Structures are given as C-alpha cells and as structure tokens.
Amino acid sequence: MVSRMELNPARMELIYGFFETYLKLTKEEELLVEKEIAKLPVDEAEKILELPNSYFERGIKEGIKEGIREGIEKRDIEVVNNMHKRGLSNDVIADFTGISLERVEKILTKCSDR
C-alpha cells in the first residue's frame, strides 16, 4: 500500500525507517512478506524491493562476515603451506599458528591433492 502512495523519497524512507525500527518481523513473517511481494505485478514488486529495508542491512553484514571468513581461510592456507615448505612439522605449525592439528593436516592434504 505504501508503495502505491507515490510519496517523495524522504517521506518514504521515514515511514520505512519507522517500520524497520519498531515493527521487526520474525523469520516466518518475512517469508510471508516475500510470498506476498512475489504475487504483485513486477513493477510494483521492484518498487518495494528498492526501498531501504533490513534485508539490505542484513545482506551487507552477512557479506562482511563471509569476506572475513574467506580472508582467514586464505591466510591460514598460505601460512600453513609456507611453514610446511620450510620443513616445520604439522605439530609445530599447529602450535605456532593456533590452528588445530586436524585443520593443518586437512589444509596440507587439500593442497597436495592439487
């Protein structure tokens, strides 16, 4: 209904800010909203999806977390491989890096399979 009102962007953002702040949806409610949006005509659904909402913020947060995980994963692989190339044992690598012995062995096995 709000998307049909043709309010200026500032007012629209104010209204949605209120909803996002004070009327948080549960996961089940979010799924229902998504189903309802899917039933709308394409142009109306696109207008709704363009509005600022918690999905956007959540997506950014999840993207940042995923990027951090990937960065840590790449760093761990590089460090373990470099230490292994210098002749250090898996136990020493695990001890110095804080990476579990099982993970060190898994990294080295993966890299040797390539």
Instruction: Show pLDDT as tens, one digit a residue, over the chain (114 residues).
Output: 555 666 676 776 777 777 777 777 788 887 888 888 888 888 777 776 666 565 666 677 888 999 999 999 999 999 999 999 999 999 999 999 999 999 999 999 988 765
Are 104 and 93 in contact by the 8 Å Cβ rule? The answer is: yes
Question: What residues have CB less than 8 Å from 107, skipping those under 6 apart?
Answer: 76, 77, 80, 81, 99
Give the pLDDT confidence score for residue 13 in this predicted structure: 72
Give the pLDDT confidence score for residue 23 in this predicted structure: 72
Are 111 and 77 in contact by the 8 Å Cβ rule? The answer is: yes
Are 33 and 53 in contact by the 8 Å Cβ rule? The answer is: no
Give the pLDDT confidence score for residue 6 in this predicted structure: 67
Give the pLDDT confidence score for residue 101 in this predicted structure: 95
Whole-structure pTM over 0.75, yes or no?
no
Maximal CA-CA distance, the chain: 69
